[in-house]
Structures are given as structure tokens and as C-alpha cells.
Amino acid sequence: MGTSVIGAGSWGTALAIQLARAGHAVTLWARDAGHTREMAETRQNQKYLAGYNLPVAISPTSDLEQAVRAGTKLLVCAVPSHAVRETMAMAARFVAPDAAIVSATKGIEEGTALRMSEIIRQTTSCGERVGVLAGPSFAKEVAAEMPTAVTIASAVEDVARFAQKAFATPMFRPYVVRDVVGCEIGGTVKNVIAIAAGVSDGLGLGHNTRAGLITRGLAEVNRLAIHLGADPLTVTGLAGLGDLVLTCTGELSRNRSVGLKLGRGEKLNDVLGGMTQVAEGVRNTLAVDELARSLTIEMPITAQMRCLLFEDKSPREAMVDLMTRSLKSEF
């Protein structure tokens, strides 16, 4: 079966490795021709996922037409959220009419508040044949073939089942749901909460604080997701609670790492300047906060992270302001 992964960051590369393990020939697209040549020669993605060999079934390319046409049955979008619109618009004319497109990108577009699957539907002719892959999954652990459970969501059950079978191996177990909204909101907001958890850890505030942030962060995911039509069960599952716990506590979490450094006194520009990969939570803090404000949904952790990241508020002041808000019932 022809499969393609658009985006050769750590996550896209790990998913390409997983698809190859599952028995597929995989075309892996990267924008930079030098990057693809290096991957083809060294059989590793040394820039983003060093130490993990690319199976022979993976063919790196920087030719978008070639990559998209190769994914005649399954096309996985794994580019950063800010690049999804441009990339998929360029890819649109090459997409096979019956191809399924799975978004592995987490985020909300600034200015439009569109989720990634909505952008894909808007820029391509895939119609309802779009799905979302979400859930607790670090790229390095998928590449290392550690047991991983994820969720694949699509409004079209055949698309979800098709993608489920395409990705499944004994060490990679996808579950199917129909709740695309819940999966995408869970995967987006958790990155914002992970920054807050990192800030807390960087300040040395302890396990009580982190647990409180995760739990109240889940409440923020729940509030926004349900308002947008999500199933409350999704928020308690792999794409909600599971991904939130992983990203807020895992040492491999880029968003937690950003918060950790901010909590220790580093400046945002310096933190981002030292990173080779995107921490989606930074960009998405603005988009999530703007969406929440437009819908009059209370998301205080998100609001404080916006103040910290973009309005020069100190980490300790943000935490104090969260703790001294007016008292209220939990539910």
C-alpha cells in the first residue's frame, strides 16, 4: 500500500518508521533537499531523530508531488501547525481522490481558530476522508518500539479503521473514536498546560502543584472541548488525560522543557533559540486563549501562560495569580 508522511521532524520520522514496521513502503517528505539527501545517505534523521535507523522501506524525498502521489491510499500530515495550510495547499492537486489523510499535527491556527483537520479539509479535496492521530506518544519512544497506545479519530469510520490497521503492530496499538474535535482540542491545550507544569517544576514548587495544574488543566481541556461539541469521554481517554499526563510529566516533552527553563529564569527568546524543534504550545497559547476569550470560556491557566510568554509576566507572579483567584466550587 502506498503511504506517505509529509514532514520529517522527529514525529513525522517516527511515524514513518512505525508505518514501515507495519509492512508499508513509505515516502518521507522534508522541505529541505539537503536534509533528504542526508537521510538517504546515512539512513538516519540525524537532525531531528538521531540514533534511530530508517528502515529500507522508507524513501526520503523533497519532491512534494512525488511524496503525495506515492501516498495513494494514506497520507500523514506531520508538519508544524503553522505550516499545515501552506503545505497542504501545495499538496492538494496531487492527492488521490480516494486517499485518506491523517493529521498528526496538534494545534489551532492563529487568526482563524481552525483545527488542523479543518485546514486540511479546507485546502484539499479529501472531504470527510480525514482523520486525526492523537494520544500519549513521544517520537523517540515510538522509534524505539516501546509499547504505545494512541487514538485515531475520524467522522468516517472506514477512514479511522483503515488508518488503525495501517499503523497497528504488536507494540503500537491504535484505538478508534469518532470524536475528532475532542482529540484535536485535547492534543492542543495539553501543550499549553505542559508549559505551566514545566514552569512549576522550574520554580521548584513540588508535586502538589504539578498535580493541581494537571487536574485543573484537564478541566480547561474539558470546558473548551465540550463547548465545541466533543464527547466528554474523549477528554478522559488517551487523547485527553493520557496525552496531558505524558506531556506535563515526561522528560522528553518539549513544551514542559520550555516551561522548566522559564521557571528557572531563562528568557523565552533564549529558550526558543536553543531549540532545533518546534514547541507547539508556545504558538498555540495565543490561539487557544483567543478562542477561549471569543467563546467566553474561562481558561485561567492558559490566560496566565499567555501573560508569561508574551506579556513579560514573571513565572512566580503567574503562579501566585492562579492561586489567589476568587474561591469557587470545583465542578
pLDDT higher than threshold 90 for residue 240: yes
Q: How many CB atoms lie within 10 A of CB 289?
A: 20
Tell me how far apart the alpha carbons of residues 200 and 169 are, in angstroms, rounded to a whole number: 37
Q: Where are the domains of the chain?
A: 2-178, 182-323
pLDDT band at 331 (very low <50, low <70, confident <90, very high): confident
Whole-prediction pTM = 0.96
Cα distances (Å, whole numbers) of residue 312 to 46, 148, 304, 316: 35, 38, 11, 12
For 56-87, what is each residue's pLDDT tens digit? 999 999 999 999 998 789 999 999 999 999 99
Kindly give the interhelix angle for 300-310 and 315-323, rounded to the nearest 10 degrees. 160
pLDDT higher than threshold 90 for residue 232: yes
Catalytic residues: 190
CATH class of 2-178: alpha beta
Let me know if 274 is exposed, middle or buried by CB neighbors in 10 A (0-12, 13-18, 19+): exposed
Kindly state the cell numbers that stand for 15: 511515524
Quick one: DSSP state of residue 265? T
Tell me how far apart the alpha carbons of residues 325 and 330 are, in angstroms, rounded to a whole number: 13
pLDDT higher than threshold 80 for residue 278: no
- Taking all residues of the chain, what is their mean pLDDT, rounded to a whole number? 95
Q: Which of 325, 81, 322, 331 is CA-nearest to residue 193? A: 322
Q: What is the mean pLDDT of residues 225-248?
A: 97
Kindly give the interhelix angle for 10-21 and 157-167, rounded to the nearest 10 degrees. 80
CATH of domain 182-323: 1.10.1040.10
Quick one: DSSP state of residue 306? H
DSSP alpha helix (H) spans, the chain: 10-21, 33-42, 64-70, 84-91, 116-123, 139-143, 157-167, 180-202, 206-227, 232-235, 243-249, 254-263, 268-273, 280-294, 300-310, 315-323
Q: What is the pLDDT of residue 137?
A: 97
From its phi and psi, is residue 207 left (phi > 0), alpha (psi between -120 and 50) or beta?
alpha
For 9-51, what is each residue's pLDDT tens digit? 999 999 999 999 999 999 999 999 999 999 999 999 999 999 9
Kindly state the cell numbers that stand for 109: 491556527
For 82-138, what is each residue's pLDDT tens digit? 999 999 999 999 999 889 999 999 999 999 999 999 999 999 988 889 999 999 999
Q: What is the mean pLDDT of residues 166-173?
A: 98
Tell me how far apart the alpha carbons of residues 79 and 7 are, in angstroms, rounded to a whole number: 5
